[in-house]
Structure formats: structure tokens, C-alpha cells
A and B are shown apart, each in its own frame.
Chain A
């Protein structure tokens, strides 16, 4: 095991992908000379050259669409979109082309495209760079939606995504980039079909993904000191959703708290809640609870941003209420 940052793990994944397969190339805004807005591709231009590390103009719709075209043309493009907020400029290409081509053509085309982008809040960059819209993307059939929360997943999910014949969207929580973790020297592709139980417990299922995983684990530590044993589920894959792992956990703990950095109304947490109602209602001792972001555009000042986001303290309180309420 070696200590590495999430950012470095992404970079290693990119590098390994480029080394493994000559069809792989990376394109996006400032991925080359700048080294990536979050420095995930630093050094890759020097190593792989400008044909494979391609700086693009600020034309999200066109460079994401060009990724679709290049995938149709036999390449394995990795497209980096600087943030999830910018990806909205490419939503047409994603929803109307990437997700539809295969079905609409009667199964004639596959689009092996990987799109990575930063998501999430916590760095005081306000209302146009801080949202968590991965739940929206998970609404769309035809694509796969991944939310790596660990260094192992940051590297490994990218590698597995590149072996997938259909479009894969990877949402990297921007707050995680400097986070350190242990990465196996031989870390490679990882499963992208299942959720993972990151901590086992019998009193409560804490279901979350992405950047919120670490808040959930910290909350679980605190709850343990009070004698509350929390099971923490890292969803990892928002589409296709691993229902069995969720329902198995809820059947054991009889209580579910969902933590989602998206807005509450129409959130991915709402989908998880509905899945539990449909498949695990009779296991529940108390109603499912959700902890989501406040329904405001993300404000700039730290105290307001903190107040808008799910917090460790908030998770602890919600969990206490849920356990105490049974």
C-alpha cells in the first residue's frame, strides 16, 4: 500500500489507461498545458503528446459531442468537463445523443465514451461551480453514472469504465482531490456494478455516495461512542443502482438515513427512499429519513455554505433521532 491523494489516483488511472490502449486519448478544457483545472492530468501532455492530451476551446457541447463521434469512429475518448455546472452546456449531446444512439438505431452502435467531471461544494466557489447534479444524470437510461469516493475507486473506476461499451459518466467530488488514502501498488480496475458496505452496523443504514461518504463515516464513528452501530453504504454506482445491497442492509437495521449533497426535492435520495418503500417497507421500524442540501443556489460565505450542506453534526443528529424514534 502507498499513500496517495485522490487527485494522484485519478492521474494514475489516466496514465495507465493511456499506456494500456493506444485508442485512449484525453480531451477537455486546460487538460494539457495547464495540467487540468484540478491538476489531474499534470505531466501527461509531456509524456503522451498533444495528439492524446488535447486542450479544447471552451465549447462543452462540441467537445463532448466530438467524444461521442470519436467513440463511434473507433477511439476510446476520455472527456474531462471542468465542473458539473459546465456540463449543462453539453446536456443535449449527453441526453439526446450519447444516451439514445444505441437504442434508437436498433442496436447498431455502441458509444464507448468516458466523461469525467468535478462535482460538489465545500470550497466557497458559490452558485455556479458548486452543485451536485449527478442525481439528474442518473435519471437517464443508456448511460452509467459513477461516484468514486475512495482513491481505489478514483483510479479503478476509470479503468473499468474504459472497458465498458457504453457511455460512462464519472463524478469526482472536488473536495476529495487533496484527500489522502491508501492505494495498493497493484491497484487496477474495480467493479462498477455494485454498492459497497464501508462499515457494518446493526442499528441504522446510512446510505450515501461521493464526497458525503467521509462525513457519513465520521458521523458513524461518533455515533459508535454513543453505542449506535451504523452501517455505512457507499452506493458508488448511481445507475444502474444496486438495490439488493441497500435492501439487505435495511432488512438488517430496520432504519435508513440517506445523505445526498443534491437538493432534496426530486433528489437521488428520493429515488433511494422510493426503492426502500417498494422493496423494504415491511423491514422499516421508522420512516426513511433524508439529509440533503438546502434548497438554495450555493452561497459564497463559508458559514452559509456550511449551513447549506449536509454536515457530520447534522448526520449524527438525524441518526440519533431515527434510532431514538423507534
Chain B
């Protein structure tokens, strides 16, 4: 398969993938230093999906993510410092430190989580799409989910409703072959996920999720179809996570050979190799990107370190929206 790509665009994609990789490698280090606690689900290995797919979105579009959403938030443009501060639980975090790794939110960029109940994002995405449709807003909602989520009832309910109401939603499956520790073939009778979409009258397509250009091009095309009013579209990206499910996972359910085999398709070195082959990239380019990313990560950590904790007095703040005379009426 051949792709058209400008050098600037290529460098940008590489830069974004490296930002995710280095941000997460740093977060592992900080986890072992106990700066970060709770669950930490790493995206390492899957970077090409978020980076490629988000090229198809405009700032007006919406994203509904999962608990493995560090990459999506980074590519969306939420400052790395506020994401690192969120991992720390600091008040300067993108969710005021209240969410942590699994609950990144950014209203200004229409980033609706960071949702940690598998499958729970589907209905939200359908609703966002419905709102756009009813208000005649030409926007797209990108709904990310993993292969594990296709076992949830909400997957089936929401695909049906999205197709029935022709809402402008892009369903983007990040199939990393494991629902936590359960391999796809051990939880799905039909392992062809795109075929399930066809059951709801949605054209599904399977894409190499380790190839950032393949992801970009497929998502661009699908987003275009959504924008043209053709209703929801569905893409399944075949990908793989190189790290365990979370920091608590001893990774006993996969063999080392399988992981090593997938690492040969690591989206970053393979993309670098290809760009070199195309004479699009020099060693200096890579060194410069790495240096920029290292500096950004370092700055993000410093920002997180310096940030304040939310005062305990604010514990109950924002359970409800502050409004004067809530529930009272003069009528």
C-alpha cells in the first residue's frame, strides 16, 4: 500500500507518537517512585491508533475515550503538564486531580473522558451525536473502545440506535486482542469485530492499527462519510499493548514470544524506518524530536510537582453545579 505524506506531516505524526511513548515511560518511573498511584493503564504499543485517528478530527468534534486515554488527550492538545498533574492527583490536573489516570476530561477540547466502565461511553457518544444532529451542527463524535467492550450489551444497543437514528458518530475499536487478560477468542464467538457492525447495517472495516498512515487514511475517509450525513461509521484497528493491562497485572496470560513478535511491528520504529526509506527523515530529525519530547516531559513533571493539592475543604465542591436558590422558584 502506498501513502502520500508531506515531510512536515510525517514529522508531526512521529512527534505525537513519541510524546505518548515518553510520557508513559516517565509515568511508569513515577509510579515506581509512588508519585502516581491507583490504576495506570498504558497505551504503549498502540500509539499509532490515537495519533492516526485524531488527524481526522477538527477542534469542534468530540472524543469519548476509555480508561486507556493518555494518548488521545495528548494528541488532542491538552497540555502535557496538566495531564501529568492529573496522574499526580494535583489540583492543576486536567480534572482537578479528581480523576487520575482513568478520568482525563477537557471541556475546552470536547474531550468527554476518560470513562472506566467498559462500554459506558457508547451511549454518551450516541447522545452527543444526537445533539449535533438535532441542532444541525456538522460535528463528529469519535467513540474509542477496546475489544473487550464489544461483549457489553451497550455496544450492541448503541450500534443499533446510532444506525437507526443515523447519528454522526465514528466508532473506533482499538482491538489489542485482550479484554484485560482474556484473549479475544476466549470471549467472542465471532472474533471478526467489524462484522458485528455489519449486523447493524454499519459498514465496518479492519485496519492495521500499528501503521499510523493506514489509521489516518481510514479514519479520514470514515469521518468524511459521517460528515456527509451517511450515518455512523465503524473501524476496527488491530493493535497490541506491549505492557501489562495495568501496573497491578503480572501479565501471566500471554507468552513472551507473542509480545516480542508484536514488538517487531512497533508503530514508532517501523514508521521511522519507512520515512528513512522514503528519504523523509534524517537522524538529526529524530534526535531533535526526541530532545523536544524529553524537554516537554521534563517540564510536565516539574509542573505536576509544583502544583498544589486541592484543599480538603473543596471535597464536596462540584457534586452539583452551583446555582443560586437551587430548586427554588418564585412562581
Query: Are A66 and B127 within 8 A (Cβ)?
Result: yes
Q: A190 vs B93: C-alpha distance in the bound complex, in angstroms?
A: 39
Q: Which of B100-116 contact A (CB under 8 A)?
A: 103, 105-107, 112-115
Partner of B135, one of A59, A74, A110, A191: A74
Q: Is B99 an interface residue (CB 8 A)?
A: yes
Q: Which of B236-256 contact A (CB under 8 A)?
A: none
Q: A64 vs B123: C-alpha distance in the bound complex, in angstroms?
A: 8
Query: Are A65 and B122 within 8 A (Cβ)?
Result: yes
Query: Are A106 and B95 within 8 A (Cβ)?
Result: yes
Partner of B105, one of A54, A69, A106: A106
Q: Which of A1-53 contact B (CB under 8 A)?
A: 25, 51
- The closest CB in chain B to the CB of A25 belongs to B134
Q: Mark interface residues in A135-178 (1 if CB within 8 Å of B CB, else 0).
A: 00000011010000000000010001000111000000000000
Q: Is B126 an interface residue (CB 8 A)?
A: yes
Q: A190 vs B103: C-alpha distance in the bound complex, in angstroms?
A: 36
Q: A54 vs B98: C-alpha distance in the bound complex, in angstroms?
A: 36
Partner-binding segment picked from B27-35, B151-159, B201-209: B151-159
Q: Is B19 an interface residue (CB 8 A)?
A: no
Interface residues on B, range: 35 or more
User: Which residues of B line the A interface, CB within 8 A?
Assistant: 62, 93-99, 103, 105-107, 112-115, 117, 120, 122-132, 134-135, 153-154, 157-158, 160-161, 164-165, 317-321, 323, 325-329, 331
Query: Are A108 and B95 within 8 A (Cβ)?
Result: yes
Write the nearest CB–CB distance from A224 to chain B, whole angstroms.
32
Complex interface: chain B residues within 8 A of A71 (CB):
127, 131
Query: Are B327 and A164 within 8 A (Cβ)?
Result: yes
Query: Are A59 and B134 within 8 A (Cβ)?
Result: no
Q: Is A56 an interface residue (CB 8 A)?
A: yes
Query: Are B99 and A106 within 8 A (Cβ)?
Result: yes
Partner of A108, one of B107, B128, B131: B107
Complex interface: chain B residues within 8 A of A192 (CB):
327, 329
Write the nearest CB–CB distance from B257 to chain A, whole angstroms.
38
Complex interface: chain B residues within 8 A of A166 (CB):
320-321
Query: Are A59 and B131 within 8 A (Cβ)?
Result: no
Q: A250 vs B52: C-alpha distance in the bound complex, in angstroms?
A: 65
Query: Are B157 and A57 within 8 A (Cβ)?
Result: yes
A191-B127 contact given A75-B134, A108-B107, CB 8 Å threshold: no
Q: Which of B62, B98, B103, B134 counts the most A-chain CB atoms under 10 A from its CB?
A: B134
